[in-house]
Structure 1
Amino acid sequence: MPTYTINFRNVELPVIFETDVCVVGGGSAGTAAAISAARKGAKVVLVERGISLGGLATQGCVFPCMPTFIDGSDTPYITDLNKRMAKQGAPLTLGIDTDTYYGGGRGQYVPEYLTMTYEEMCAEAGVEILYNASLVGTVQEKGKIVDCVIQTPAGLGKIRAKVFIDGTGDALLSRFANVPTEKGSEKTGRNQPMSLRFEMGGIDVERVYRFFSQDLKDDYGKDIFQIIEKAIKEHRPPFFEFAKWKKNKDFFEAGVAKGEVTEDDILYIQAFTIPGKPTVMSMNCPELPPLTYSSTDAISASRAVSFGRRMMRHLATFFIKNIPGFEKAYISREASMIGVRESWRIRGKYYMEAEDYLKARHFADAVCRTAYPIDIHDVKLDLFKKLEKGQYYEIPYRALVTDTVSNLLVVGRCASGSFAAQASFRIQPTCMSMGEAAGIAAVWGLSHNIEVNAVQWDKIPASERSYVSEG
């Protein structure tokens, strides 16, 4: 179904900005694109519907970033971000070296620090941020976007740009520009399930750790137990996570039997400690039932928020009553946006598929690498195995551009790929690297009078690129 649009071509609206590059969406990918383009000398406007940058990493309480599982995946933008975040006084990676962690360490970005760091990076680069601005349409001429139309507190307005970058996550800019898109699984039609994350404070983390590791004899976090023990001995807040997993499954299901939680509530449970917040844990749950709620249906997605909030209360009450260390805990923060893993994806010049991951394909025009598995929460298929140590696949630049709109780049989870492929490339570090490359390519195209969908990433000098494929 096409996205319904209004023809704004002859509508008289104020032009709020005239700029070189307009990025719509201030999440992990969009922010990286805006900063990278501005650092290359472009005049950049970054449009964000909320009042903070970072998207799910900040507004959605998605902590921590998942790892790429391959060394060498950190592009310069990520390296710079990590150095800036390290100054906040919290470690960025777990330092784990086991059979399941091959590199590309798990970044720990505390939301409140990340929001400010992003704004500082934008200010240094000269990015103009437009908060409280929602995309409502486009004006196109001759296969190009001329303006994007936005709703602001002052009313409707236009942003005129030479290049546009879609960092909306839902491919909304692309859909308004009539770019072909897909959504959900090719087999079932369902989207990946959404989550509504929250944080709880007042927790005795060490007691929680002892309960899961000793009382329940859970081995879920066995690869970090030594790190936890070392932190405890040194009187440092340990990084710890617990989940509904194998040995403790009966514990959570007992809560269902007692009527304290429902099967939906315990569908997926995972929680992490947060650097700099020694008595707080971030809940990677509740996960909303995929058969009931869809990220691509407006009414369904709205109802999911209320349902998720009720699930959140069920879980918090259950934790307080049943998990030692949670007795004095409370909900300290709710996500201000729902956690969408997958919605719409474009059909670009290159269409990534599961085979690209499974065969660890490399591309001459690659913009980044990852070995993150095909992580589909709705279904588990044996086909989608983890790559061997040292293996990785790459994201080609052609997956970020389309044949239909010459001055559009698409970054993040809505890049071109199948349902299964997207389940791998959707993680934050990969999205950041896509955004970084898009910002660089946008300015390269402008400075060389080349449309961005005709830019050949591998022809840009290696010193100018954020990533160069090793072949």
Structure 2
Amino acid sequence: MKTTSSIPASCSISGADFSEADLPLLLDTDVCVAGGGTAGTAAAVSAARRGAKTVIVERGILLGGLQTMGCVYPCMPTYVDGSDTPYITDLNRRMENQGVSPVLGVESERYNGGGSSVYTAEILSLVYEEMCEEAGVSILYDASLIGAVTKDGKITECIVQTVEGLGRIRAKTFIDATGDALLSRFAGVPVEKGSETTGRNQPMSLRFEMTNIDVDRVIRFFDETLKDGRMEPSFIEKWKDDMAHGRPPFMEFAKIKSNEAFFQKAVETGELTQDDVLYIQGFSIPGKPNTMALNCPEMPPLDYSAADALSRSRAVSFGRRMMHRLAAYFVKNIPGFEKAYISREASMLGVRESWRIRGKYHLEAEDYWSARHFPDAVCRTAYPIDIHDVKLSFGEKLAKGQCYEIPYRALVTNEISNLIVAGRCISGSFAAQASFRIQPTCMSMGEAAGIAAAWGLSHDIEANAIRWEDIPKEERSYSSEG
């Protein structure tokens, strides 16, 4: 199945010309990472561990982005064994040392392979700061990226808004881990957005948590009463074994075909709207007994766009109303939720896709379907092309044991020589992005970006001229399987 991008790369955003602005210099560093989320934190830690003076610019006051502020857990699995790169292995070990094992350990067709993890947000943000402190990363919180200064095909400075006002950060290499390709667009890099077929972005979510839940009764209701087909025998046996040995069990429920009538009845009674029931999913959270994370509501993509500022703002209010309707419905209708209440709302929208750069290599759906490998691959995954849109379908996932790789060339551009991009906004089609956007893959991309940035600086090679395969194998986080 071959899918190619038909939309021409759009122009980057226009911004104020800061080249002659008399603004204070906040930092002069080797590597500046814009965005302290899943990919950005990995990039900063990896660069600093290799001797590069590094700063993270983060608009919030937590590292982790959607992992922490967006309540997005668990990580979706890569569906390929051995995909965890050293950064992820180290992170998992540190989480275990904090008393929370992030690894689900459920062996089934649905959770097969690397990356099946739940990172408890409050512990993860602490661990991320500890990793940064150990590596020597500077963190600039409460700082919004508002512009970039470019000269001769390089970014010389980025402009940020802080509590002190506007300021400059000068660096030798920049890493765009904003998720929305914001730094890239400020620097004039060509970008594209949305589906080549419909023009729409993937729908956004506004996740939340509920607590005081009898999780045991919830899972029994979905398994025994609703006959939830997602509950494979291995999943149920693992849950029963955890319960028998006093371990907090991991559980999940969702609106699927086998229980669709249960949720549809709520639309008929007026308790929920049709939008409310389009996507419903909940997970238990290790380290938070009697609490579940709700991977919903999901705002309809026909009405709300991740690439429109006013639309994104309206989506927040719309999503919050959906959230409270869903919570009230769960309390009234799902056994185990009777005494539950909303204990946390995400502090950022769950954006799956917005802008993507046009880099030296453009990943396509065909790269996924052909399980393509690359000599300059920085990671591998087999996560399916997961598009949350009923009008778009790209078939089943790869056969077990197959995977595709992401080349370093998809992280760099022709236009800006000292820029590396990491995370969901690397170069790829709408369909390809629907696969590589998941957390473990973004962490591995960030890790590779940090390694490449430090290696390039130490060898006087521009970021977009680095050949990942030329970096000594023992210094790379991942080497292609060939």
Short-chain TM bin: over 0.9
3-state SS, counterpart of residue 29 of structure 1: helix
Partner of 2:363: 352
Code of the residue aligned with 1:228 in structure 2: it is W
Once the two structures are overlaid, the 10-residue window that deviates more, 382-391 or 81-90, is 382-391
- Match for 1:63 among 55, 73, 76? 73
The answer (yes or no) to whether the contact 2:193–2:356 under 8 Å persists in 1 is yes
Partner of 1:289: 300
Code of the residue aligned with 2:69 in structure 1: it is Q
Q: CA offsets, 1:195-244, max 9 Å, x none?
A: 00000001000111111111112221224111111112223321110000
Partner of 1:201: 211
Structure-2 separation of matches of 1:232 and 1:445: 51
Partner of 2:465: 454
3-state SS, counterpart of residue 211 of structure 1: helix
Q: Aligned Cα RMSD in Å?
A: 1.0
- What is the CA distance between 1:186 and its match in structure 2? 0.5
- Match for 1:49 among 32, 53, 59? 59
- Match for 1:158 among 150, 168, 173? 168
Code of the residue aligned with 2:261 in structure 1: it is D
Q: CA offsets, 1:94-145, max 9 Å, x none?
A: 2222334431141110000000000000000000000000000011110000
Structure-1 separation of matches of 2:262 and 2:52: 55
- Match for 2:384 among 373, 376, 380? 373
- Match for 1:339 among 341, 344, 350? 350
**TM-score with structure 1 length normalisation?**
0.99
Which residues of 2 match residues 222-371 of structure 1 at below 5 A? 222=232, 223-371=234-382
3-state SS, counterpart of residue 113 of structure 2: coil
- What is the CA distance between 1:381 and its match in structure 2? 5.0
Structure 1 residues 102 and 327, CA gap change in structure 2 (3 angstroms): closer
Structure-2 separation of matches of 1:233 and 1:213: 17
- The size of the alignment, in residue pairs, is 471
Structure-2 separation of matches of 1:145 and 1:431: 23
The answer (yes or no) to whether the contact 1:199–1:282 under 8 Å persists in 2 is yes
Code of the residue aligned with 1:458 in structure 2: it is E
Structure 1 residues 248 and 164, CA gap change in structure 2 (3 angstroms): same
Structure 1 residues 380 and 85, CA gap change in structure 2 (3 angstroms): farther
Partner of 2:101: 91
**TM-score with structure 2 length normalisation?**
0.96
3-state SS, counterpart of residue 228 of structure 2: coil
Code of the residue aligned with 2:61 in structure 1: it is I
- What is the CA distance between 1:382 and its match in structure 2? 5.3
2:85 aligned with 1:78, yes or no? no
Structure-2 separation of matches of 1:327 and 1:71: 40
- Match for 2:39 among 24, 29, 32? 29
Runs of 4+ in 1 over 6 A off after TM superposition: none
The answer (yes or no) to whether the contact 1:358–1:384 under 8 Å persists in 2 is no
- What is the CA distance between 1:470 and its match in structure 2? 1.5
Partner of 1:117: 127
Once the two structures are overlaid, the 10-residue window that deviates more, 214-223 or 47-56, is 214-223
Fraction of identical pairs, as percent: 68
Structure-1 separation of matches of 2:446 and 2:407: 13
Structure-2 separation of matches of 1:327 and 1:445: 57
Structure-2 separation of matches of 1:362 and 1:344: 25
3-state SS, counterpart of residue 290 of structure 2: strand
Unaligned runs of 5+ in 2: 1-10
Code of the residue aligned with 1:233 in structure 2: it is A
3-state SS, counterpart of residue 412 of structure 1: coil
Structure-2 separation of matches of 1:96 and 1:236: 14
- What is the CA distance between 1:380 and its match in structure 2? 6.0
The answer (yes or no) to whether the contact 1:102–1:390 under 8 Å persists in 2 is no
Partner of 1:104: 114
The answer (yes or no) to whether the contact 1:95–1:105 under 8 Å persists in 2 is no
